[in-house]
Chain A
Amino acid sequence: MKRFVTYFLILTALLIILVVGALYLIPNPLVRASVLAAFPEKKERLASLKESKIVLLGGSNVDFGMDSRRIQDSLDMDVMNMSMVGGVGLDYLMRQSLPFLNEGDVLVLIPEYTNFYSAVYFGNIFLAAILFDVAPETLPDIKMRQWKSLLPFAAKYGASKITSLPILIKAYISKEPSTALFHSKEAYNVHGDNEMHWHLEPQLVVTEPYNPMNNDLNDFSFEGIREVLLAAKANGIKILLLPPCYHQSSFENQREAISFIDEKLKKQGTPYFVTPERYRMADSLFFDTYYHLNKQGVDLRTTYVIEDLQRALGK
């Protein structure tokens, strides 16, 4: 028994040392060349903007699916798209962006539906990648409650650095991003929109499978959004909570979950500004996933957002 327990503990300790060591010691050139690496630049740009600006915040559906320049021209306000891949987590994005918002600014919050019924809200492996390879200075900003959710993803990220070591070494030596350009750091315009895919041929878009609403709804996301909205409101920041754009076929598969989210937001006093159906968009308007619009889709969605903003701001 003693031998068994000793060996088990040694192996477990070795495993932990390897994972933690990999997190801190193995650089990930793929992440450092990817869309995730754009976050510090987005933050810098946001910090440089003056008062009376519009900040767009959401997952990749906003990151990939907005023409901020048009919004800026239509509303005559600076616009910055602070959205990142959904897996970075809305909580992190909100808490990193809010300090730069002041009275008179407008926050357009567009959480993806998965934020409400999975661990995505607190971030997954994408946030682990940002924390350990892109913006380690933000590590202290992560609260204990968030770590509880993030820890398995951090472990996953550390372990994946070891299991994909040959790929990382190859990328490090070649110094060339092995990813499509629209997934690279270079994909952004000055407003923080990922526009690299706008002129590419749409790829195959698969429908999100039916996912019945179950009991593992992430209450933290509702609470977190409510907290942030109240805090922003108290500081004189105008808030607009919008549903994400969503592939029509996938929308039909998720209808039950979407209605549930819509109702729950209403009940807690933070309703969507419009119905989710407004942003249910034809399948043909998507680029590569059910959340990523193609250029035609971006144009239509931007028009909707401009209309909603005009109505909300009385312009």
Chain B
Amino acid sequence: MLFNSIEFLLFLPLVFIAYWFLVQKSLKLQNAFLLAVSYLFYAWWDWRYLFLIIFCAALNYYSGIALSKVSSTRHRKIILGTAIVLSIGLLGIFKYYNFFVDNFINAFASIGVDLHPRTLNIILPVGISFFTFQTLSYTIDVYRLRLRPTTDPIAFFTFVAFFPQLVAGPIERASNLLPQFFESRKFSYPLAVDGMRQILWGFFKKIVVADNCANFVDQIFTNYETLPASSLVIGAVFFSFQIYGDFSGYSDIAIGTSRLFGFNLMRNFGFPYFTRDIAEFWRHWHISLTTWFRDYLYIPLGGSRGGKALVVRNTFIIFLVSGFWHGANWTFIVWGLVHATFFLPLLLSGNNRNHTGIVAEHQLLPNFKTLVKMFITFVLVTLAWIFFRAANVGEAFNYFSRMLDPSLLSSPGLGSKLFIPFLYIAIMLVIEWFNRSHEHGFFAPAKMKVARWALYLLLALMCIAQYEEKQDFIYFQF
């Protein structure tokens, strides 16, 4: 089920009412109810893939219990290794098998050997990369003795399948989300209201900003060979905002929805386009994945300790894996490598933590120097997005070369409606700029009730007016 679907519009209030009015007396019943509706939410897309979630949850649940029952390091390593191999193996089969087979065939074809191994005709199960990583974090934390294994299967299975964040995150840590399934949940008016506000803001970013940009981006990337360079620049910029509106919008809806049910999910975006260098960007973009890789890959590899060669190696590994996590395509790998190249100079020169506070804190507007830094970061990120969006690496390079054409100064020729996405992007940026010190982009002061309600209605009307059916979230494919 998509958040931006009529089905979800009916599903959410019904689940909310049942949750707080019918099953609120028993925590176990609430968890069981959430599990059932989460499975329904997923099965709406394709019930056959539910077995993957159940398998993944069962594997890591029993791995946790097994880890608590053995004390020898060797046995513990075997249990952890088995859980990792099976979880990643599942991901490998469903997400990467055809990629490896195709590249294997191509590699042999280049030396004149024709191979015909079988490729699998399978569709990628929605959210597989998210729930695989979420469950793995649990087993690894139990192995590291940072978390006690749970013996409540309903709570654990609900933690894995919790519908707001099941298909596109945030990738929750067991240490944050799992304990919430054992605490009595009381309805909190301020939390629920803020949740609704965040949901509304998420819909605005997805439906109004991202989908409007998407219409142009799809046209431009399909026709980039015939369009002037100025259009290609606009295409790249729009894609930057499309992917931001799309993914951070999803995260806002997920976090806001969780709040309606008394849960607090981790923050996933911290206004990444207001950052002053690439290192800061990565602390504000897809935070749940970045910190996952930091904690479970980068630090175990040695992190920033050791010689420069080790730091360079670890940085490239983490960005490469991060790119590959997004999809079985060389474009994502190159995208990761490009970011590693942008990031390394900052890390090696010790400048990667120059900007840790809120940008232009206590100021209405940024000063010129900050503005330039933000602009340069945005340009670098936008250039890298071209690899992310292109169908293949060759297309990305062609796109770059065509962007340098003299037609850069000519009219984009994309019709009179081109101003519309710019207008919505501007509205989003202004509102987020003024709320950049808050948890999410749409904080509304407690006073001025009438103005606040008018703003809610206006945003809701804009979402309805711009609604397009069947506009998937980009991150569903990962």
Chain A interface residues toward B at CB < 8 A: 1, 3-4, 8, 11, 14-15, 18-19, 118-119, 152, 155-156, 158-160, 162-164, 204, 206-210, 216, 253
> Could you list which residues of chain B lie within 8 angstroms of chain A, going by C-beta atoms?
6, 20, 187, 189, 192-193, 196, 218-219, 221-223, 226-227, 413-414, 453, 456-458, 460-462, 464-467, 469-470
Closest chain-A Cβ to B451's Cβ sits at a distance in Å of: 14
Give Cα A160 to B464, complex, Å. 8
Closest CB pairs A-B (n = 6): A159-B464, A160-B465, A159-B465, A209-B222, A159-B461, A206-B223
Q: How far does the Cβ of B222 sit from chain A's closest Cβ, in whole Å?
A: 4
Minimal Cβ-Cβ distance residue in A for B260: A4
The answer on a CB contact under 8 Å between B461 and A11 is no
* B460 and A4 contacting across the interface, CB-CB below 8 Å: no
Known: A15-B461, A152-B6, A163-B465. A4 touches B223 (CB 8 A): no
* B413 → A minimal CB distance (Å): 5
> Taking A11-B457, A14-B457 as contacts, is the C-beta distance between A156 and B465 under 8 angstroms?
yes
A207 to B225, CA, bound (A): 11
Chain B residue numbers with a CB within 8 Å of A118 are: 469-470
A152-B196 in contact given A1-B20, A209-B219 (Cβ < 8 Å) = no
Given contacts A15-B461, A159-B465, 5 further A-B contacts (CB under 8 A): A18-B457, A162-B465, A163-B461, A204-B414, A216-B470
Cα A208 to Cα B464 in complex, Å, equals 25
Give chain B residues whose Cβ lies under 8 Å from the Cβ of A14: 453, 457
CB <8 Å contact, B457 and A15:
yes
| A11 and B453 contacting across the interface, CB-CB below 8 Å | yes
Taking A3-B189, A4-B192, A4-B193 as contacts, is the C-beta distance between A206 and B465 under 8 angstroms? no
Q: If A152-B469, A160-B465 touch, does A11 touch B456 (CB 8 Å cutoff)?
A: yes
Complex Cα distance, B227 from A208, in Å, reads 14
Chain B min CB distance to A34 (Å): 15
B211 vs chain A, min Cβ distance (A): 12
**Cα(A23)–Cα(B328), bound, Å:** 47
Q: Which of B192, B193, B222, B462 has the most CB of A within 10 A?
A: B222
A4 to B458, CA, bound (A): 20
> Roughly how many angstroms separate A118 CA and B471 CA in the complex, as a whole number?
12
- Is the pair A15, B222 in contact by a Cβ cutoff of 8 Å? no
A and B contact pairs by CB, cutoff 8 A, 15 listed? A1-B187, A1-B189, A4-B192, A15-B460, A15-B464, A118-B470, A152-B467, A156-B464, A156-B466, A159-B461, A163-B458, A206-B222, A206-B227, A209-B219, A209-B221
Interface centre among A158, A163, A253 (most CB of B within 10 A): A163
Q: What separation, in Å, do the CA atoms of A18 and B459 have in the docked complex?
A: 13
Minimum distance in angstroms from B450 CB to a CB of chain A: 12
- Assess A119 versus B189: contact at CB under 8 Å? Given A8-B196, A162-B461: no
Do A19 and B189 contact each other (CB < 8 Å), given the known contacts A1-B20, A11-B453?
A: no
- Which residue of chain A is the closest to B24 with respect to CB atoms? A1
A114 to B143, CA, bound (A): 53
With a CB–CB cut-off of 8 A, which chain A residues contact B189?
Answer: 1, 3-4
Interface of B is mostly: helix
In the complex, chain A residues whose CB is within 8 Å of the CB of B223? 206-207
Whether B219 and A19, one on each chain, are in contact in the complex, defined by CB atoms closer than 8 angstroms, is no
Task: Find chain A residues with CB under 8 A from B227 CB.
Answer: 204, 206
- The CA-CA distance from A204 to B407 in the complex, in Å, is 15
Tell me the bound Cα distance from A162 to B6 in angstroms.
Answer: 21
Complex Cα distance, B462 from A118, in Å, reads 23
Closest Cβ neighbor of B223 among chain A residues: A206
Q: Are B467 and A156 within 8 A (Cβ)?
A: yes
Complex Cα distance, B477 from A292, in Å, reads: 33
The listed residue (B193, B196, B222, B466) touching A207 by CB distance below 8 A is: B222
In the bound assembly, the distance between CA atoms of A236 and B467 in angstroms comes to 43
Output the least CB separation between A167 and chain B (Å).
11
B24 → chain A closest CB, angstroms: 10
Q: Measured between alpha carbons, how far is A251 from B223 in the docked complex, in Å?
A: 14
Q: Which single residue of chain B is at the shortest CB-CB distance from A250?
A: B222
Shortest distance between the CB of B398 and any CB in chain A (Å): 16
State the Cβ distance, B96 to closest chain A Cβ, in Å: 20
In the complex, chain A residues whose CB is within 8 Å of the CB of B192: 4
Residue of A nearest to B20 (CB): A1
- Select the residue from A4, A15, A155 with max chain B CB neighbours within 10 A: A4
The distance in angstroms between the C-alpha atoms of A3 and B196, with both chains bound, is 14
Chain A residue with the shortest CB-CB distance to B468: A156
Contacts of B193 in A (CB 8 A): 4
CB neighbours of B470 from chain A (8 A): 118, 216
The smallest C-beta distance from B199 to any residue of chain A, in angstroms, reads 11
Please give me the residue from chain A that is nearest to B216 by CB atom.
A206
Which residues on the A side are within 8 Å of B414 (C-beta)?
204
Q: Give the contacting residue for B464; candidates A1, A19, A206, A210; CB below 8 A.
A: A19
A1, closest chain B residue (CB): B187
CA distance A208 to B222 in the complex (A): 8
- B contact residues around A204 at 8 Å (CB): 226-227, 413-414
Could you tell me the distance in whole angstroms from the C-beta of B405 to the nearest C-beta in chain A? Answer: 16
Knowing A1-B20, A8-B196 touch, does A209 contact B460 (C-beta < 8 A)? Answer: no
State in angstroms the CA–CA spacing of A203 and B227 once bound together.
12
In Å, the complex CA distance between A4 and B197 comes to: 12
Chain B residues near A208: list those with CB within 8 A.
222
Query: Contact check: which of B6, B219, B456, B461 meets A206 at CB < 8 Å?
Result: B219
Cα of A216 to Cα of B470 in the assembled complex, Å: 10
Contact A119 B469 (CB under 8 A): yes
Q: Distance (Å) between the CB of B437 and the closest chain A CB?
A: 26
Determine the distance from Cα of A158 to Cα of B460 in the docked complex, in whole angstroms.
12
List, in ascending order, chain A residues with CB within 8 A of B456's CB.
11
Taking the nearest CB of chain A, how far is it from the CB of B411, in angstroms? 10
Closest A residue to B470 by beta carbon equals: A216
Q: How far is the CA of A15 from the CA of B457 in the complex (A)?
A: 7
Q: Are B187 and A18 in contact (CB under 8 A)?
A: no
**Which chain B residue lies CB-closest to A180?**
B416
The docked-state distance in angstroms from the alpha carbon of A253 to that of B226 is: 16
B219 partner residues in chain A, CB cutoff 8 A: 206, 209
Q: How far is the CB of A5 from chain B (nearest CB, A)?
A: 8
How far does the Cβ of A211 sit from chain B's closest Cβ, in whole Å? 10
Q: What are the residues of chain A within 8 A of B222 when measuring CB–CB?
A: 206-210, 253
- Residues of B near A206 (CB, < 8 A) are 219, 222-223, 227
A73 to B425, CA, bound (A): 53
**A residues in contact with B221, CB < 8 Å:** 209
Is A18 in contact with B461, judged by CB distance below 8 angstroms?
yes
Contacts of B6 in A (CB 8 A): 152
CA distance A204 to B230 in the complex (A): 15
Q: Give the one of B20, B223, B457, B461 with max A CB within 10 A.
A: B461
B residues less than 8 Å from A19 (CB atoms):
461, 464
Q: Determine how close the nearest CB of chain A comes to the CB of B364; give it in whole angstroms.
A: 27
Neighbouring B residues of A164 by C-beta, 8 Å: 465
Considering only CB atoms, which chain B residue lies closest to A158 in the complex? Answer: B464
B465 neighbours in A (Cβ, 8 Å): 156, 159-160, 162-164
